[in-house]
Amino acid sequence: MLPDQLNSRRLPADFNRQYHALAGLDTREFLSWVFAPHKPFGEVGVVTSFGTESAVLLHLIADVAPAAPVIFIDTGFHFEETLAYRDELTHYLGLQSVRTVGLDPLSEKRSDSARRLHLEHPDACCQLRKVKVLAHALRDYDGWVSGQKRYQSRERSKIDRVEWDRARGKWKFNPLADWGTPDLLRYQTQHKMPAHPLASAGYLSVGCSPCTTPVKSGEDMRAGRWRQHEKLECGLHRPAGLIVATRG
């Protein structure tokens, strides 16, 4: 999508300048700039699932901005192992501001009192328990950081390190967009980081327990998610609102 197709009222005037300023930086420098004390992008939060690949981004955050807000969406359907891993990594890395957010009980009672929405309508369930919850959690932020990488799936293959999240009207940063599995493994080994407890059982991507299965040999790493449905993404990540085409 080109700039003239965007809602220019919402696109920051300095988007292209910031985009190109960040372009030559390595991942650590990139995050240092995003969380620089003078807040060039306003208030920025980190959104993580505490999944199998979350540790690298969180280690970098702990290194450059340990007090940065880290947002974890608790859908109420997570594996016990994920909740334990959240606590373990938080302590291990010294993250100072991990915030667990979730659907309030009244909204759950009103919209899915039986907690069975995921069985027939997973899109609606993700919308209720993830997308709306994140929208609420990000309401006071100007931007957010995600751990997405291009190699993870076809849907993610075109993500950029700096995007404009047009749907939410916020900066979106994918600092690990160009990292691959060998890069992640090397980093994790080098820093002796604890692995998600389910990683060794074949869960290459971990989401909610009713919607996640182990991945078989040769499958896409996200093949174990929503296996019984056509669904590929939860809806938190929408296509980028902007691809910068010119030097600004």
Task: Return the bridge partners of 225, or none.
Answer: 212
125 binds ligand SF4 (CB under 6 A): yes
Interface residue with ligand SF4, options 126, 138, 177, 204 (CB under 6 A) = 126
Containing 28, the helix (H) or strand (E) segment is: helix 27-34
Of the pair 73, 95, the CB lying nearest ligand SF4 is at 73
Give me the sign of the Cα torsion angle 193, 225, 70, 104.
negative
Shortest Å distance, C-beta 198 to ligand SF4: 15
- Binding segment toward ligand SF4, per CB under 6 A, in 88-96, 137-145, 171-179, 203-211: 203-211
- Proportion of the chain in helix, strand, coil states, percent, rounded to 5: 40, 10, 50
3-state secondary structure of 165: strand
The residue whose Cβ lies closest to ligand SF4 is: 208
Interface residue with ligand SF4, options 45, 49, 57, 130 (CB under 6 A) = 130
| Residue 54: both structure tokens together | 């979350």
222 binds ligand SF4 (CB under 6 A): no
- Give catalytic status of residue 125 as yes or no: no
Count CA atoms within 13 Å of residue 37 on its CB side: 0
> Cα(first)–Cα(last) distance of the chain, in Å?
17
3-state secondary structure of 208: strand
Task: Answer whether 77's CB lies under 8 Å from 175's CB.
Answer: no
Contacts of ligand SF4 in 95-124 (CB under 6 A)? 118, 122
45 binds ligand SF4 (CB under 6 A): no
For residue 69, count other CB atoms closer than 10 A to its CB: 20
- Per the listing, tokens 């327990």 go with 209
User: By CB under 6 A, how many residues form the interface with ligand SF4?
Assistant: 13
Of the pair 188, 213, the CB lying nearest ligand SF4 is at 213
3-state secondary structure of 44: strand
From the list 50, 25, 30, the residue with the least C-alpha distance to 40 is 30
Shortest Å distance, C-beta 225 to ligand SF4: 7
210 binds ligand SF4 (CB under 6 A): yes
Interface residue with ligand SF4, options 89, 204, 208, 215 (CB under 6 A) = 208
Of the pair 25, 236, the CB lying nearest ligand SF4 is at 236
Of the pair 95, 117, the CB lying nearest ligand SF4 is at 117
Hey, which residues are catalytic here?
234
Contacts with ligand SF4 by CB under 6 A lie at: 75, 77, 118, 122, 125-126, 129-130, 207-208, 210-211, 234
